[in-house]
């Protein structure tokens, strides 16, 4: 009897036959991300034929400040207001490099240094990067290559994994199924991860959604997510130490049974990168983000009113605090504004692992003297808010707490636009 359970390949690789099958590559032509004809009833994307339609569509898209006498080369729904798409600063952000290996090697001075670096970063712009994380470099490369393999598939194949409405899981092209304006110049593939299941949940997702050919790709992301979960818990220990939380293990235990989100971002080259964005200005609603990016660059953090580029460092993972952890720290650590810009020449890939609590866990800081800055809430509520009522942006947590206090029925949460 052949064993039914899946065997993990010795060396994961995403190069299954169909994953390599596609001849087309998004990298060559600076075409807009593949636009889906949004399923009815949500409005479909009207690509303007002439100038007046472009003007009308663009002003609807809130891009009225652009001088549309210069015909945009990109469809109007992809145009972003100047305020959000304003030029990047020439000054890169000095993102502290924290060696998290000190949590395992008994280096007490190193531990104090790491805690101080994290405290300084998280109390200001909310970003740091980690080395000594122990994540296999070959696995990171396989995960980035897997993103290239997936996104170069024909649209019909990617569509087999299309996002389930109201959830974050699945494939989307420019979120064209959700929004009518300020479309991000990207394609994404997102799926859930949690451990302790009877079978490998990420492998099940890939095989169940895309077919048996995608089992190797599923194993790459299964192992990658397992490594990200472990790294997340290590970082939680460091955050706890840096916050001086008396209850040792409070944050680590809070996320032991986490149910996280893995997101692969693919940003095609763009003919007018200054008029659109790969990912708009936002704070992550989640707790902690671990970002592995390729060498192209594009992540920017808002510091003192300037969009400061974060230079990719080979082998390092970029970490940022999300809204949920800002609430867990009662506002001491900041969930900060960031965005992703695109360029004319090279496609860019980034892998974002979003650590999220189990859905029903109540997000509440450890007992502290300070007055509470945020109400109790569950991740399920905040997640539902971002997927069904509100496009996560620069004010998500404030909008969410208002929505909670007024009750979902009354709150005038702005529609997802
Ligand atoms: C809970 C989530 C919603 C988003 C994915 C995760 C964490 C980041 C959020 C997001 C990336 C913030 C910017 C806007 C967004 C719509 C996007 O550009 O993808 C957000 C994600 C989402 O709602 O799919
Ligand atoms: O691609 C990037 O560099 C950032 C993406 C991001 O911020 C996100 O997906 O939340
Ligand atoms: Fe983000």
Closest atom, ligand 2, to C-alpha of 350: 1
Residue with tokens 């095609």: 268
Per-residue pLDDT at 136? 96
pLDDT at 409: 55
Is the CB of residue 276 below 6 angstroms from any atom belonging to ligand 1?
no
Q: Which atom of ligand 2 is nearest to the CA of 338?
A: 7
Which residues have CB under 8 Å from 170's CB, separation 6+? 161, 162, 163, 164, 189, 190, 191, 209
For residue 286 and ligand 1, the question of a CB distance below 6 A is answered with yes
349 an active-site residue? no
Dist CA 314 CA 383 (whole Å): 32
Q: What is the pLDDT of residue 21?
A: 44
Q: What was the pLDDT predicted at 63?
A: 42
Residue in the block written with tokens 């996002």:
163
Give the integer Cα–Cα distance in Å for 261 and 5: 24
Measure the CA–CA gap between 276 and 32, rounded to whole angstroms.
11
| Per-residue model confidence (pLDDT) at position 73 | 87
Rounded to 5, what percent of the chain is helix, strand, coil?
35, 15, 50
From the list 74, 65, 59, 60, the residue with the least C-alpha distance to 278 is 74
Pairs from 356-363 (Cβ < 8 Å, separation ≥ 24): 356/258, 356/259, 356/260, 356/261, 356/286, 356/287, 356/324, 356/383, 357/254, 357/255, 357/258, 357/259, 357/287, 357/324, 358/257, 358/258, 358/259, 359/259, 359/383, 361/254, 363/324, 363/327, 363/328
* Sheet with strand 288-293: strands edge to edge: 97-99, 127-131, 317-321, 288-293, 348-355, 260-267, 187-193, 170-173
pLDDT at 34: 57
pLDDT of 7 reads 67
How far is 270 from 344, CA to CA, in rounded Å?
Answer: 5
CB 331 within 8 A of CB 291: no
281 Cβ below 6 A of ligand 1: no
* Sign of the CA dihedral with 284 first, then 286, 290, and 292 last: negative
In angstroms, what CA-CA distances link 162 with 21, 146, 155, 335, 344? 19, 17, 10, 29, 27
φ, ψ at 242 (rounded to 5°): -70, -25
Assess contact for 322 and 278: CB atoms under 8 A.
Answer: no
d(CA 163, CA 173): 10
pLDDT at 264: 98
Backbone phi, psi, residue 192, to 5°: -85, 155
Could you tell me the pTM of the whole model? Answer: 0.87
First-to-last C-alpha distance (Å) of the chain:
54
Check residue 163 and give left, alpha or beta (phi > 0: left; psi -120 to 50: alpha). beta
Token look-up 């997936």 returns 150
- Whether 279 lines ligand 1, by a CB cut-off of 6 Å, is yes
Distance 397 CA to ligand 3 centre (A): 14
Q: State yes or no: ipTM above 0.90.
A: yes
Could you tell me which of 400, 165, 116, 129 has the C-alpha nearest to residue 283? 400
How remote is the CA of residue 284 from the centroid of ligand 1, in Å? 7
The stretches in the chain having pLDDT less than 70 are 1-70, 368-369, 407-417
What pLDDT is stored for residue 45 in this prediction? 23
Ligand 2 centroid – CA 291 distance (Å): 7
CATH class of 80-358: mainly beta
pLDDT tens digits for 336-363? 999 999 999 999 999 999 999 999 999 9
Q: What 3-state class would DSSP assign to 363?
A: strand
Q: Which of 275, 339, 348, 391 does the annotation list as catalytic? A: 348
Q: Does residue 177 line the site of ligand 2, with CB under 6 A?
A: no
216 CA distance to ligand 1 centroid (A)? 27
């Amino acid at each position: 009897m052949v064993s039914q359970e899946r065997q993990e390949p010795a060396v994961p690789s995403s190069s299954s036959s169909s994953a390599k099958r596609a001849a087309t590559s998004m990298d060559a032509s600076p075409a807009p991300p593949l636009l889906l004809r949004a399923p009815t009833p949500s409005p479909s994307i009207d690509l303007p034929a002439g100038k007046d339609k472009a003007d009308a569509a663009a002003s609807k898209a809130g891009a009225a400040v652009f001088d549309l006498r210069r015909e945009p080369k990109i469809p109007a729904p992809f145009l972003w207001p100047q305020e959000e798409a304003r030029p990047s600063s020439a000054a890169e952000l000095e993102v502290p490099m924290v060696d998290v290996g000190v949590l395992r090697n008994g280096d007490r001075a190193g531990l104090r240094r790491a805690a101080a670096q994290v405290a300084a970063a998280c109390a200001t712009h909310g970003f740091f990067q980690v080395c000594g994380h122990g994540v296999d470099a070959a696995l990171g490369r396989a995960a980035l290559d897997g993103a290239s393999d997936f996104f170069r598939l024909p649209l019909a194949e990617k569509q087999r994994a299309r996002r389930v409405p109201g959830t974050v899981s699945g494939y989307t092209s420019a979120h064209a199924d959700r929004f009518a304006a300020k479309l991000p110049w990207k394609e994404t593939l997102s799926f859930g991860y949690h451990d302790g299941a009877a079978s490998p949940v990420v492998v099940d997702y890939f095989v169940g959604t895309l077919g048996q050919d995608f089992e190797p790709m599923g194993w790459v992301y299964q192992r990658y997510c397992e490594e990200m979960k472990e790294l997340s818990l290590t970082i939680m220990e460091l955050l706890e130490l840096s916050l001086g939380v008396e209850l040792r293990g409070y944050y680590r235990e809070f996320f032991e049974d986490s149910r996280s989100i893995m997101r692969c971002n693919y940003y095609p080259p763009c003919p007018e990168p200054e008029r659109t964005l790969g990912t708009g200005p936002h704070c992550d609603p989640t707790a902690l983000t671990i970002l592995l990016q390729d060498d192209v660059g594009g992540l920017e953090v808002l510091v003192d009113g300037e969009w400061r580029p974060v230079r990719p460092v080979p082998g390092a993972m970029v970490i940022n605090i999300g809204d949920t952890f800002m609430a867990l720290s009662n506002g001491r650590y900041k969930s900060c504004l960031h965005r992703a810009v695109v360029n004319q020449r090279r496609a860019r890939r980034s892998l974002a692992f979003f650590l999220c609590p189990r859905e029903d866990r109540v997000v509440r800081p450890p007992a502290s003297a300070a007055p509470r800055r945020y109400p109790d809430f569950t991740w399920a509520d905040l997640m539902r808010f971002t997927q069904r009522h509100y496009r996560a942006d620069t004010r998500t947590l404030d909008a969410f707490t208002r929505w909670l206090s007024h009750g979902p029925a009354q709150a005038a949460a702005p529609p997802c636009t």
